[in-house]
Amino acid sequence: MKFAAASRAFFHRKPASFNLSTPLKATRRLETSSTTTHSSAGLTEEEVHQINDVVPRLCSSNHLKEAVQLISAALSTANPPVGSLPLSILINRLALEPDLTQPMHLLNSLKYTSNTEKTPILLPITKMFVSYFFRNGHPKRAVKIFQWVSRPDFPGGLMDNLELYGDLIDGFCRNGMILDALRVLRVMADGNLVIGSEIRFRVYRGLLREARVDEALELKAIFDCGTLGSNGGTKEVVDLLDRMITNWVD
């Protein structure tokens, strides 16, 4: 990642030299640096401490782009200590933005980090954003996150985390966004993922609330057959969901 070399030089500054202007100057160098060196060394305890000191100040002073770049550079190192970095502070602040520009800047920065496939970075960060958006009354932003993780160029292919899909379906159903819940269900079925009874019940109840009784009963019947996972059964479920989604949109 092009920010890695410059960021490590920044981390090795004397602690006494840290002030708000210092990290801003460092992150500007990260932006203009043409270096593409990827750090092969992990962060030291002192570097982690300095990141935890600087990132909250960048967030509170509304220098979000610089905070994102600093975290991205830290996560590009070998074996980044994800649990020790101030991710929740940064994500909480980004989730309060009026649009998704800065949240997507962080997600896309991590998406194209070469360590992404080695370290499960994207999943916990994605789940944190989804949780914040639903909790703070922004379910439509969660739709954008779902569309992003469902893209074919997502690192490692289809994300198979059942907890994330369950959170999405639960949040959409709670907000009356049953069409979006069906789209999540369709991705799960097409990926031959396990669709548990709780997820099925949430969607079934959501369809009934929308007075789509026939669709609810048809979906329940096909799930009760227990054929999902077989070639024919999976196709049958996907075809049904495609038809339901098309009819809903039309």
Tokens of 208: 């009934």
Question: Angle 64-75/101-111 helices, nearest 10 degrees?
Answer: 20
pLDDT tens digits for range 155-192: 766 677 889 999 999 999 999 999 999 999 999 998 88
What is the DSSP code (8-state) at residue 250? -
Which residues, other chains included, contact 32 with Cβ-Cβ below 8 Å and sequence gap of 6+?
none
Tokens of 174: 């709670």
Give me the residue label for tokens 């198979």: 160
pLDDT tens digits for range 70-114: 998 888 776 677 788 999 999 999 999 999 999 999 999 888 875
Tokens of 179: 């069409």
pLDDT higher than 90, residue 7: no
What's the whole-model pTM score? 0.80
pLDDT higher than 70, residue 33: no
Strand partners, 230: 228
Q: What is the pLDDT of residue 184?
A: 96
* Pairs from 131-134 (Cβ < 8 Å, separation ≥ 24): 131/167, 132/91, 132/92, 132/95, 133/95, 133/171, 134/167, 134/171, 134/174, 134/175
Label residue 135 by pLDDT band (50, 70, 90): very high
